[in-house]
Structure 1
Amino acid sequence: MFARSALPVIAVAATVTLLAGCTSTASQGSSGSDISLVKSGKLTTCTHLPYPPFQSRQGKKIVGFDVDLVDLVASALDVKQEIVDTPFEGIQSGEDLNANQCDVAAAGMTINEVREKNLDFSDPYFEATQALLTKKGASYKALGDLKGKKLAVQQGTTGEQYAQRHAKGAKLVQFEDLALLLTAVKTGQVDAGIDDNGVLYDYVKDNPDTEVTAEFNTGERYGIAVRTGNDALRKRVNKVLGDARADGRYDRIYRKWFGTAPKK
């Protein structure tokens, strides 16, 4: 999910009301307001697995670029991060945050106008675009080459939306998560797949029988989301991200997961 996107879902007001009293004060926000967390001593993060290198399981742990960045926020609040794996629809619609299932959502999630009606985003922390994945040696270099062919898309993502608009004549095959999409391309169930460039380049490193044959300039930027109106936590996230960029911690985390320095 993952420059991921879908239709908004309106959370039930009664549910929010019942759960609103379940938070616990953890820290003072930069605005002077208390930061309240779902669980005492925990910064709970909603994500949708797998989406390497942003978040994925490594043994019993969940690791990734997003995980390391949110760990910085947790450290600044003097708490530990706890990660909840949940369907992406509930994340990007704001439903999970409104129901106090988590404090923040970090899921390789593109900031867009639809989501901004349901969530409040941090400052952007990653730039992404869409890309095309094929088996090695395939002749598909553009979406126009896939007329009459099967193109894998991930349900509810910006990649799916881009394909719907631009892959005219292609047969779109929808998959619930990234792992299923990647397997479909690798095994030849589909002719190609579209998703965020970061996750596709990460995949081909360990799967040399596949390759990224094209990128599409969609100008996407990821953000960490909080419940609408949770300005104290959003401002603290922004401060941590800004400090990490200034003191080099962001660059070190970026190199760890992408093997290169971020573009300035």
Structure 2
Amino acid sequence: MKTPFGRRTRLLAATTATAGLVLVVAGCSSGGSGSGQTVAGGVHLAKAGQLTTCTHLPYPPFQSVVDGKVQGFDVSLIDLVAKDLGVKQQIVDTPFENFKTGAFLNSGQCDLAAAGMTITPERAKNVDFSDPYFEATQAVLVAKNSGITSLDGAKGKKLGVQAQTTGEDFAKKKGLDPVSFASSDAVLNGLRTGQVQAVVIDYPVVQGWLKDKANADKFKVVGNLKTGEQYGFTVKKGNKPLLKAIDKALKDAKADGTYKKIYEKWIGPYDSSVASPAGS
């Protein structure tokens, strides 16, 4: 199903991954207030004193509101970039479909986008991707009493996916007719409430969801689909200074062990051969 989005977005100010966030309602503007700022490395920021990040909430464990604060794997990594630039990160919650077009980057509302987004040639036509920072697979999740044991077993059943994602694309390429939800939380709630009998969704999201014993008692993974996906952060086409700053922060974090600590906090046990993409 196609879910309409409002024209208003939520603005959440973040200082660090563990700092408090203030929820503010803000209208979408073409460039925001202020004249921006140029900081270290020639990086120009849309708003002075902050690195503005577009995301789409909720998408745990990458970004979601926990105890009144936006936290997660992506948030923690971009905090490292903001720290290098000598500013604070501020997060804007926006519809996921805009990440494909780079609309909010082009308008100057955000400096970068961090939304657990898979690097694809189609998306790379509209935005520039950072080095890969995460290897992703798709999970097939079902109720334990469903009788479904694989993705093939979901044929003829109602299958849930998140709209505008590679999970949705994958299901359609397999000849399935998925029910599309607006967010990962909505997908999982659809499974929980019986709106769908199975879901295809990013495995790290499922990992986090199954940490809740109530969910683990009733649901299980019956397939882990290795689709060769890698996540990347995005910037406006041609924004080489910011892209360079992001890639440097990722490289430094992997070299000094910070990436591993963040990974284990938000994702789970760290396997360097899988968790950290080669060459990134």
Q: TM-score, normalization: structure 1?
A: 0.87
Q: 2:178 aligns with which of 167, 172, 177?
A: 172
Residue 53 (structure 2) pairs with residue 41 (structure 1): no
Aligned counterparts, 1:42-81, within 5 A: 42-81=50-89
- How far, CA to CA, are the matches of 1:28 and 1:78 in structure 2? 8
State the 1:138 CA deviation: 2.8
Q: Does 1:198 align with 2:204?
A: yes
Determine if the alignment matches structure 1 residue 83 to structure 2 residue 91. yes
Contact in 1 for aligned 2:97/2:164 (Cα 8 Å): yes
Return closer, same or farther for 1:52/1:181 CA change in 2, 3 Å cut-off: same
User: Shift in Å at residue 157 of structure 1?
Assistant: 0.5
Percent identity, aligned pairs only?
49
- Partner SS state of residue 205, structure 1: coil
Q: Distance in 2 between matches of 1:262 and 1:70?
A: 21
Q: Is the Cα–Cα contact under 8 Å of residues 254 and 262 in structure 1 kept in the other structure? A: no
Distance in 1, matches of 2:33 and 2:51, equals 17
Unaligned runs of 5+ in 1: 1-17
- Seen in structure 2, the aligned counterparts of structure 1 residues 22 and 262 have a Cα distance that, compared at 3 Å, is farther
How many residue pairs match? The answer is 241
**SS at structure 2 position matched to 1:45:** strand
Q: For the structure 1 residues 193 and 104, does the alpha-carbon distance in structure 2 shift closer, same or farther, using more than 3 Å as the test?
A: same
- Which letter maps to 1:86? T
Shift of 1:85: 0.4
Unaligned runs of 5+ in 2: 1-29, 274-280
Are residue 258 (structure 1) and residue 267 (structure 2) matched?
yes
Indicate conservation of the 8 Å contact 2:111/2:235, yes or no: yes
Give the residue type in structure 1 aligned to 2:141. L
* 2:167 aligned residue: 159
What is the alpha-carbon distance in structure 2 between the residues aligned to residue 177 and residue 260 of structure 1? 25
Task: Name the residue aligned to 1:142.
Answer: 150
By relative contact order (CA 8 Å, sep 6+), the higher-ranking structure is 1
Q: 1:185, 1:193 within 8 Å by CA — same for their partners in 2?
A: yes
Report deviation, 1:19: 4.1
Report the equivalent of 1:124.
Answer: 132
Give distance in 2, aligned partners of 1:138 and 1:73.
Answer: 44
Q: CA deviation at 1:79?
A: 0.3
Letter in 2 for 1:213: V
**Structure 1 pair 111–191 and aligned structure 2 pair: CA distance change class (3 A):** same
* 8 Å contact kept, 2:138–2:201: yes
Question: What RMSD, in angstroms, separates the aligned Cα atoms of the two structures?
Answer: 1.6
Aligned ranges 1:79-118 → 2 under 5 Å: 79-118=87-126
1:127 positional shift: 0.2
Which residues in structure 2 correspond to 1:242-257 (within 5 Å)?
A: 242-257=251-266
Match of 1:216 among 225, 241, 245: 225
Shift of 1:57: 0.2
What is the one-letter code of the residue matched to 1:139? G
How many Å separate the matches in 2 of 1:118 and 1:23? 24
Check the 8 A contact 1:136/1:210 in 2, yes or no. Answer: yes
